[in-house]
Copies of this chain bind each other. A is one copy, B any other.
Amino acid sequence: MFKLNRSSDVSSARLGTVQTPHGDLATPFFMPIATKGAVKTLSTFDIERLGSPVLLSNTYHLYLRPGTEVVARFGGLHRFMSWDGALLTDSGGYQVFSLAKTRKITEDGATFASHIDGSQHLLTPESSVGIQQVIGSDIVMVLDECTPPDATDDYLKASVDRTTRWARRSKEAFDTGRGTSNNPGAQLFGIVQGGTDDALRVVHATELVGIGFDGYAIGGLSVGEPFEDACRVVSALDTALPADAPRYFMGGAKPHEIVEYVRRGIDMFDCVLPTRNARHGQLYRFVHDDVSRPDFYETVQITNERFKDDTRPLAKAGDDPVALELSRYSYAYLRHLFTIEEVLGQRLATLMNVRFYLRLMERIRASIADGRL
């Protein structure tokens, strides 16, 4: 399922391939977020034009709307959203902790009240895997508890132990359900928790590796802790995690942070920043081609007065169809669209920012290949 093609001589960066029933994914890669079955403002036709081979979606959201039955009616999310590329689904664990109105954790699972209508639901390791097998994800994530940054040491330890037991149950459910799943070729990833406690992180990783997963995610970071702490945890896990399995940093990060995590051995990323910031008019732009430089990019606010009559195009007309479309429109036009609150502006900005993140990953892979990273 994972081929390690090259390890860097100057860092822990790696080049590899995650093989899925819906295509091969060259690592390190970034997954645009289609939380509820759509990348906000974009269609899957747009994603194809952008050239992303993979999307991330979310069990919690899809379970609530449109509901598992509707997804089942289509034989899975791929057909429901018309997407032939790979899909990774988060287990819903993070959303139960970040979105649900109320929640209660027991050994069985997480009981929560829907953020939409307050209705009560129980998410267990087994039901989360079951929903993801109806969704037909190519990469299924185990249910975990995402501990808050201010958790006590005792709570953290008890939570990590429970997450290990949940991971074991997830794997059993995954294997049992494979035959009737909408994607028998799917793979299952474990999620390492443990806050910013390096030792606990390594213990947890070792336990998960003992159970055996197709890949390993690092959860519970990018939740407010200092960037240095996250880097330290990732470095500590670099040796604890097997070299022949992909590593996925969940829920982060800014462009320069991605480069740092890649240096520490991470292969997979997702992040709401490019899409969310786009909708608020914040755009990412390359300043230098060399992404190993700390100052390789900038962000600009399109609503700024200085763009009022900026006739420069939003992209250079290149080979890819999205650049060709963006090259038709100026910064001044995009600013106008934001000024009149026209959603076409959010859409063009989203195309720009997702394209930036995808090109960032291309440049990272090229930099690893030529020995700079």
A→B interface (CB under 8 Å): 36-38, 40-45, 61, 65-66, 69-70, 73-74, 80-82, 308-309, 311, 325, 328-330, 332-333, 335-337, 339-340, 342-344, 346-348
Contact between B44 and A328, CB atoms less than 8 A apart = yes
Could you tell me the distance between the alpha carbons of A70 and B339 in the complex, rounded to whole angstroms? 13
Q: How far is the CB of A33 from chain B (nearest CB, A)?
A: 13
Task: Identify A330's interface contact among B74, B344, B346, CB under 8 A.
Answer: B74
Asked if A40 contacts B82 (CB within 8 A), the reply is no
A170 to B: closest C-beta gap in Å: 27
Partner of A336, one of B37, B309, B333, B342: B37
B45 touches A80 (CB 8 A): no
* Closest Cβ–Cβ distance, residue A263 to chain B (whole Å): 36
**Cβ contact within 8 Å between B344 and A40:** yes
Which chain B residue shows the least CB distance to A62? B336
Cross-chain contact of A81 among B37, B38, B311, B333 (Cβ < 8 A): B333
Whether the pair B344, A38 counts as a contact (CB closer than 8 A) is yes
On chain B, the residues within 8 Å of A73 by CB distance are 309, 311, 332
Chain B residues contacting A81 (CB-CB under 8 Å) are 329, 333
In the complex, are the beta carbons of B45 and A328 less than 8 A apart? yes
B43 lies within 8 A of A336 (CB): no
Is the Cβ of A333 less than 8 Å from the Cβ of B80?
Answer: yes
